[in-house]
Amino acid sequence: MPYELISGCQAAAIAVQRAGVDLVAAYPITPQTAIVETLANFEAKGELGGEFVSVESEYSALSCCNGAVAAGARVFTATSSHGLAYMHEMIQWCSGARFPIVMVNVNRAVGAPWVLDPDQGDSLSQRDTGWMQIYCANAQEVFDTVLQAFMLSEELLLPSLVVFDGFYISHTYEPVDVPEVEKVREFIGPPQFQAQVEPGVQANLHGLSKGETQLQLVRRRHEDMLRAPQVFTAINEKFYRVFGRSYKTVDATIPEGSKTAFLAAGSTAETVKWFLPELKGCGLIQLRMFRPFPGDELGRIVEEQGLERLIIVDRNCSTGTGGYFAQEVRAALYGLTVRPVIQDLLLAGGIDLTKDILAGAAEKSPGDKLVDQEWGVELK
């Protein structure tokens, strides 16, 4: 196995190079910068295999991708935090236009004030923009998910956001299995989707439409995105046969007899997993896919394991409501006959998830007075 010691950012960039793209348009921003640098290096060495467009802003980066993907190109971009926020208008446009774009977002808090720590609010605040969102827990997942995201997007004609934490993943070096270019390209193949613009064909695209038209288009987009878990599963079955790894939309590690589980996405899942042996009576549910939200699969796990309490690790906060993941889990499990107690462990600002915080949250037994929201900063 050709393992390489690389960072999460490098894993993402190498995956893009392995997949083979026609165009990359991106603007550097901490902590995503290493992705742009690595891709630029590929371009400088003539190994990118596509165009690398230097742009003056994130807005232009995604606009440039929009144009290329309309012409049938496979495109990639990456950003973080304020860069993602700056793209917001184009982000919505992509999904409405059904552009199968793959973008990496490296989580970083959105100001004010200027913060570099890996709050997930940047990507989570884009949850309603019609992009699929997949959260990665380590560099290998980053590499594999970027590859799979091209297939997922091009199959469903919907854009994908591949998300991982700044620094914990972006800047941490891990051994990653990096397959050869030929092997990856044979697996993924060239883009198969229909170009929207073609030479010689006059077409008016994405122009002013009636509300009735938009209703139909939104409905189609919604129904298509609901197929994502099924397509994701199929891609992973094939992926497993070639690369020996596969992923689920929601993964569970529940020790025998555990009635409490932490639910985490991104690097926090990896942290919880590391400490599980020391957190007696607790299991882990790792949420990979966030959009579409795999509520059915989550409910099945909760019911099968008879989980009575879920501690949701939210390194984010939707001000006025609480953590995004907790909101989503509450909504998803509302239909269960016996619903678990849901506690929201709030780590907004991107603070470090320590063993003490995890233990402090777990120690609150169902007999204690439970509160909906535990602020991680107080559990230290």
Partner 1 sequence: MSGKTNEALLNYLYARGSEASSLNKTGGWRLAAPEKIKRLSPCRHDCLLHSEVPDWMEAVKGGRWEDAWQIMSRSNPFPALTGHVCFSPCTENCNRGRLDQELEIPAVERAIGEWRFDHYQPRRGPRAVKDPVAVVGSGPAGLSCAFYLSDHGYKVTVFEKSSISGGMLALGIPEYRLPREVLNKELAILEEEGITFITNRTLGEDLMLRELNNDFREVFLATGAWLPRQEKLAGAEHKSVYHALDFLSLFNTRQHVEIKDPVVVIGGGNAAVDSARSALRMNGINHVSLIYRRSRAEMPANPGEVEMAEQEGVELVFNANPAEVVTETASGSISAVLFNHSKTNREGLVLDTSRTFKKECGSVILALGQEPDYSVFDPLEEEMSLFAGGDLVSGPATVPEAIRAGRLAAFSIMAKIESRPGPDVFGISEQPVAFEELNLLGRSDLELQDRQKEPVLEAGRCLGCGTCNTCGICYLFCPDVAVEWINNNYEFNLDYCKGCGICVTECPARALQMEGGY
Element (H, E) at 79: strand 75-79
- The set of residues, in sequence order, having a beta carbon less than 8 Å from that of 44 and lying 6+ positions away, is none
Q: Are 178 and 5 in contact (CB under 8 A)?
A: no
Element (H, E) at 216: helix 211-226
Least distance from partner 1 to the Cβ atom of residue 131, Å: 15
Q: Restricting to residues 215-244, name those near partner 1 by CB under 8 A.
A: 216-217, 220-221, 224
Q: Are strands 23-26 and 51-54 parallel, antiparallel or unpaired?
A: parallel
Least distance from partner 1 to the Cβ atom of residue 209, Å: 5
Q: Applying CB under 8 A, which of residues 208, 244, 319, 369 lies at the interface with partner 1?
A: 208
Least distance from partner 1 to the Cβ atom of residue 217, Å: 7
User: What whole-number distance in Å separates Cα of residue 323 and Cα of residue 310?
Assistant: 13
Q: Applying CB under 8 A, which of residues 44, 195, 203, 234 lies at the interface with partner 1?
A: 203
Give the residue with the Cβ less far from partner 1, 196 or 318.
Answer: 196
Q: Applying CB under 8 A, which of residues 207, 244, 257, 320 lies at the interface with partner 1?
A: 207
Q: Restricting to residues 71-130, name those near partner 1 by CB under 8 A.
A: 96-98
Least distance from partner 1 to the Cβ atom of residue 98, Å: 5
| Per-residue x/- track, 131-170, partner 1 (CB under 8 A) | --------------------------x-------------
User: What whole-number distance in Å separates Cα of residue 87 and Cα of residue 283?
Assistant: 37
Q: Residue 194: is it exposed, middle or buried by C-beta count within 10 angstroms (0-12/13-18/19+)?
A: exposed
Give the residue with the Cβ less far from partner 1, 41 or 196.
Answer: 196
Give the residue with the Cβ less far from partner 1, 89 or 296.
Answer: 89
Give the residue with the Cβ less far from partner 1, 207 or 257.
Answer: 207
The dihedral formed by the CA atoms of 269, 271, 277 and 281, expressed in degrees to the nearest 10: -50
Least distance from partner 1 to the Cβ atom of residue 96, Å: 7
Give the residue with the Cβ less far from partner 1, 220 or 238.
Answer: 220
| Per-residue x/- track, 274-293, partner 1 (CB under 8 A) | --------------------
Give the residue with the Cβ less far from partner 1, 292 or 340.
Answer: 292
Q: Are 331 and 309 in contact (CB under 8 A)?
A: no
In this structure, what are the phi and psi dihedrals at residue 34, rounded to the nearest 5 degrees?
-60, -25
Give the residue with the Cβ less far from partner 1, 96 or 360.
Answer: 96
Binding-site size for partner 1 (CB under 8 A) equals: 20
User: What whole-number distance in Å separates Cα of residue 32 and Cα of residue 29?
Assistant: 5
Please provide the DSSP assignment of 248-291 as one string.
-SEEEE--TT--EEEEE-THHHHHHHHHGGGSTTEEEEEE-EEE
Q: Are 88 and 138 in contact (CB under 8 A)?
A: no
Packing angle between helix 88-96 and helix 58-70, nearest 10 degrees?
10
Q: Applying CB under 8 A, which of residues 88, 127, 206, 273 lies at the interface with partner 1?
A: 206
Give the residue with the Cβ less far from partner 1, 112 or 208.
Answer: 208
Choose the binding region for partner 1 from 44-52, 139-147, 211-219, 347-355 (rule: CB under 8 A).
211-219
Supply 264's token pair. 């985490």
Q: Does 200 bind partner 1 (CB under 8 A)?
A: no
Which has the closest alpha carbon to 90: 167, 146, 27, 37?
27
Choose the binding region for partner 1 from 13-21, 59-67, 205-213, 234-242 (rule: CB under 8 A).
205-213
User: What whole-number distance in Å separates Cα of residue 283 and Cα of residue 291?
Assistant: 23
Q: Does 205 bind partner 1 (CB under 8 A)?
A: yes
Interface residues with partner 1 (CB under 8 A) are 96-98, 157, 196, 203-210, 212-213, 216-217, 220-221, 224
